[in-house]
Structure 1
């Protein structure tokens, strides 16, 4: 299925044409039928000669209902532009075209109606010339009569060609369904309708509405029950949830969109619109119409503060309209467009569509410093709606954040789910060694810089990012960035090496405090070496090399069990000053245990091995 919107001046035959094509009545309100005026959005559908089905969104042409017209056109990829042969180009023709051009609609048909009432050639020539100046360009044009049926066959064939030219939507795209109708059905509950431009919805899916979960209980498309539908499609969803849906709100795939009330945008001024933008405007997207405050940043960029959060992606286009410009208050001579030359553009008709706003950032940074707005504008001038531009602005983003902004991550993450701007990541890699060196100079006896402090210094959101930046010869050990294998400051590392050389011949003969000081190992240096695991402290003032206690246990296991302190001292070739605390250390580790006041044994031996019975 494809969906096409109508557009054109009030009472130019849009609804009549849709009725003639489909055999259905698009005007659904009694007041609409009584007044012959479309007030609300109407929907009808038909099967084209190719077998393709097309649904029409019939929008109101009256100037007072421009907001409703935009709600119908917003999610639709193509337009059937209608101009009456007996009236030609009119004020709302112009305003609808400006809206379509600003929204970026680029595919459509020109249909000149009432060909039975007047020669369609002048109106067609005039309308084609105006459309050619717009984004629609050279569209196919036909003359028809909804009353007599003239040209309807050719129009159906032209619609087939238009539908075939529309781009295929992505069925895997995240769902965003702008709600354009809400009503209750007896026995079913709340039903909403909208145009699904892309993605897939299935019965049982859980969608989000203003952050709250909503379950799809049942679904129809073109009044036929379905269990699954892919865009483009007109759908009606029977919902269950705690939130009351409203027109202008959107059902979205959870996590697929960024809800934001602050966006940075690139402005495209509407044709003939003033260069000056009022501060307060109405922003339209999909069926939503929200107030917004415009803050110019510089050039063609601005920041919009929306009156409520909307689910947005980069590249979305918001249409900015001035609700304060009421074209009904123009010169009385121009109030009735039927009393003037059809080829004359009404100087009293103020175009209320002022600009299109293409979203460049859905999470823009704060502007606190003097000149920050100017700097931001310079960055946005070259920005594009892609991950690379986002990362240049935000420097670091998680994969899920990029997806919610509408940008597939480019390249591999630098760490876990984190993606980084390449230039920024390179600069961090250059800064980290200097940060570590500065910390080592300020804390010479610490084994290394704690990762958390490094994270704070580099202003990073995740400690894992610091770990990913560490490069040899630095390493990460026990939550610290250490330089070299020992993780000690160079002077302490050299002192430990000298001590190790002295202990190589007599590993259990721990030096006195005086000798340790001569080696450069005072109390603070010893504490740093012990924290780094470069030395083993067995008692105050007594240190050995790591693993010496295990070597001692192996030697003691060879003694007749149990053994005395004197026997242990002799086996280890050390002094009583070292032997006693070393044995107590082994007791604490469970390697040895006391048998009585004078004897110990290695716990790996059973009492029966020596014939000495315990207790």
Structure 2
């Protein structure tokens, strides 16, 4: 399906043309038909002779209803600009065309209506020349009389050509459906309508609506039920999970996680202006309208602080409107999560940075380099493609080369930590994370390279060991245990050897001793040796049997037996005997 918006004339010339083209009445309200004045958005559709299905969004022309007009054109890729032969170019036509130009609309058709009442030539020539200086350029043009039908076949043929030239939308893209109507249908509940500009909607799909999730119970397109609709299309969605009072024009249904809601963003004016901007402007995108505080940065760059969050992406085109001056400006979203501007001159520096930032993957690379680290899902939701050179670690993206740069600093951090704490094998992960200013501990493995390694929550060197005097004392203890593996040294013997609590803890971390209980230290491999000796006993066995098999004292046997129970080597029975598991 193709969708086009009418624009240009204040009276019923547009609506009459839409009726002649589609056979449908676009004006939905009795007051509109009585006054001959389009007040709100109107909708109609038809099948062109070539088979294309065309939906028409008829927007108001009068200046008092410019907000409604903007809600209708924001998501539509092409425009049918209507000028009456007897009235010619009007202030409302100029305002509509200024909006289309600010939005960057490049596809359209000029229709000069009421050709039966006046010579269409002058109006056609004047409008063609005026449009040539806008984003629409030199449009194909047709003179038509909706009353007599003259020119209507030529109009449909010209529409076929315009629609054939439209770029194909991405059917797999994330959905952002701006709601332009919300109402209820008895027996169905809440229904919303909008122009699907990208992606596909299916019955059963779930979408984010603010901070809630809603489900599509069913959908229609051009008045008929369908299982799915693919952009570009006019759709009506029957929603589950929201009351009609909780949704309104300007809300958006979003693919969950695909868009970032923001109230602060950086933009660049599509066309720089020398005029001073007011401190507050009205921002339009899709069918949404919010006010915004404006802070000039440098050149054509601005920082906007919105009165309410909007789901935006880098590359979105906004329309900035100054109601007091009846002026509209187009602005491209450059950053939906901009940096704070704290230092003197930061605004000017930020403006210069945006001026030099390219688009596409090169722009994504520049943005990632500035951020250093960012979650992949957040980066994509901002509207950036993932740079091919980015380093991916779990859910994180790291700027190219940054992981290597940080890895080169890790040995210095480890050496400094061991210098201050020689009894510890290396800094805990939290210490290294803080030293390198990493946003998440999950990033630590990406910067720890051989001969360094992660062990027991610390960053250790392969050659890391205990201080020489501590190592000598531990070696002596292990030499004694080699002949009597369960003869744990007494506390006074450990102290006399120079092994206090800190030294013993370091030996345990270095896996040179095993702590069985307070004051009980044995050599690594003690669990296997204990099991081997217990395997020679009748099962189950008593603690006394185990003590004799281990050739040790009750001081060691009791905590050792409990230590083996805790590790699943042995199982304690109700009668206090034990057996091997």
Using the TM superposition, name which of 503-512 and 156-165 deviates more: 503-512
Q: Is the 8 A contact 2:520 2:556 kept in 1?
A: no
Shift in Å, 1:289: 1.0
Partner of 1:267: 269
Q: What is the number of equivalent residue pairs in this alignment? A: 560
Q: Is the 8 A contact 1:89 1:127 kept in 2?
A: yes
- Alignment partners' CA distance in 2, 1:493 and 1:132: 86
1:78 aligns with 2:53: no
TM-score by length of 2: 0.85
Task: Indicate which of 247, 250, 254 corresponds to 1:248.
Answer: 250
Partner of 2:506: 528
Assess, with a 3 A threshold, how the Cα gap between structure 1 residues 491 and 170 changes in structure 2: closer, same or farther: farther
Shift in Å, 1:568: 7.9
SS at match of 2:142: strand
Shift in Å, 1:21: 0.8
- Alignment partners' CA distance in 1, 2:105 and 2:291: 23
Using the TM superposition, name which of 537-546 and 513-522 deviates more: 513-522
Assess, with a 3 A threshold, how the Cα gap between structure 1 residues 580 and 97 changes in structure 2: closer, same or farther: same
Using the TM superposition, name which of 177-186 and 116-125 deviates more: 116-125
Q: Is the 8 A contact 1:590 1:603 kept in 2?
A: no
- Alignment partners' CA distance in 2, 1:278 and 1:253: 35
Q: Is the 8 A contact 2:12 2:37 kept in 1?
A: no
Task: Indicate which of 422, 429, 433 corresponds to 2:407.
Answer: 429
Shift in Å, 1:234: 0.9
Shift in Å, 1:3: 0.2
Using the TM superposition, name which of 407-416 and 160-169 deviates more: 407-416
Partner of 2:426: 448
1:366 aligns with 2:311: no
1:32-431 equivalences in 2 (<5 Å): 32-243=32-243, 244-269=246-271, 275-325=275-325, 351-353=326-328, 355-383=329-357, 384=359, 387-411=364-388, 414-431=392-409
- Alignment partners' CA distance in 1, 2:61 and 2:469: 84
Using the TM superposition, name which of 394-403 and 144-153 deviates more: 394-403
SS at match of 2:180: strand
Stretches of structure 2 that go unaligned for 5 or more consecutive residues are 571-576
Q: Is the 8 A contact 1:482 1:488 kept in 2?
A: no
- Alignment partners' CA distance in 2, 1:502 and 1:418: 48
Shift in Å, 1:108: 1.1
- Alignment partners' CA distance in 2, 1:86 and 1:555: 110
1:461 aligns with 2:439: yes
Assess, with a 3 A threshold, how the Cα gap between structure 1 residues 490 and 379 changes in structure 2: closer, same or farther: farther
Partner of 1:546: 524
- Alignment partners' CA distance in 1, 2:206 and 2:519: 67
- The C-alpha deviation readout for 1:559-614, integer Å capped at 9, x for no partner, is 9x999999988xxxxxxxx9886667755555999xxxxxxx9988xxxxxxxxxx
Could you say what the CA RMSD is over the residues aligned between the two structures, in angstroms? 3.6
SS at match of 1:422: coil
SS at match of 1:456: helix
- Alignment partners' CA distance in 1, 2:307 and 2:546: 85
Q: Which has the higher Rg, Structure 1 or Structure 2? A: 1
- The C-alpha deviation readout for 1:248-299, integer Å capped at 9, x for no partner, is 11122222221221112122237xx652111111000011111111112222
SS at match of 1:142: strand
- Alignment partners' CA distance in 2, 1:489 and 1:368: 47
- Alignment partners' CA distance in 2, 1:483 and 1:454: 14
Q: Is the 8 A contact 2:313 2:336 kept in 1?
A: yes
Using the TM superposition, name which of 379-388 and 356-365 deviates more: 379-388
SS at match of 1:24: coil
